[in-house]
Amino acid sequence: MIPGPDPVLGLLLGRLAPGVWSADRVPFDVATQAIALGWRVAEVALTGSKVDDLVALGEAAGFPDYARPNWDATADALTDLALAPGDRMLVVLTGVDPDGAVVPMLTDVLAEAADRWAHLHVQLATLLVGLSAPSARRLADI
């Protein structure tokens, strides 16, 4: 177990490695708390439509104008964000993925971006709330 009252708070305080995490629920407003702790936050309520969800992520995360709603462009845009060493960004994904087609691929793309940013001393973390994916580590298991 991590020290502290809640694993999500442990993630925000840097007690857990960045990457992709999932939680069934969060007992507080994670975006507000993350911002108060110095994180840049992108919140996306997924719909299960790849195009709509990638557009929403791009708008929330501040993707460059050239980014298009496809997996390769999303991967490129995630590594082209205006982040500097020491920055922290949290992507919070909620909503639905009825066909199970969006979340697994999106979390793989986000995990790869987190690995790339880690080499530049930037923390990119993704929190799935009420969603799951094979590549996501469950906070309940911590």
49-89 tens-digit pLDDT? 999 999 999 999 999 888 899 999 999 999 999 999 999 99
Hey, CA dihedral for 61, 39, 136, 131, is it positive or negative?
Answer: negative
In this prediction, residue 27 has a pLDDT band, given cuts at 50, 70 and 90, of: confident
- Bridge partners (DSSP) of residue 40 are 89
Please state the pTM of the whole predicted model.
Answer: 0.93
Show contacts of 1-9: CB within 8 Å, 24+ apart. 1/142, 2/142, 7/139, 7/140, 7/142, 8/127, 8/139, 9/33
| Fold (topology level) of 7-141 | Barnase; Chain D (3.30.370)
The predicted pLDDT at position 61 comes to: 97
Note the pLDDT of residue 3. Answer: 41
Give the three-state DSSP class for 33: helix
CA proximity to 122, closest of 92, 79, 93: 79
Q: Is the pLDDT of residue 48 over 50?
A: yes
For the segment 38-58, the average pLDDT, to the nearest whole number, is: 96
Q: Report pLDDT for 34.
A: 95
Task: Say how far apart CA 88 and CA 126 lie, in whole Å.
Answer: 11
**CA quadruple 91, 81, 105, 134: dihedral sign:** negative
Confidence of residue 1 (pLDDT cuts 50, 70, 90): very low
Pair of tokens at residue 98: 């009825």
Confidence of residue 141 (pLDDT cuts 50, 70, 90): confident
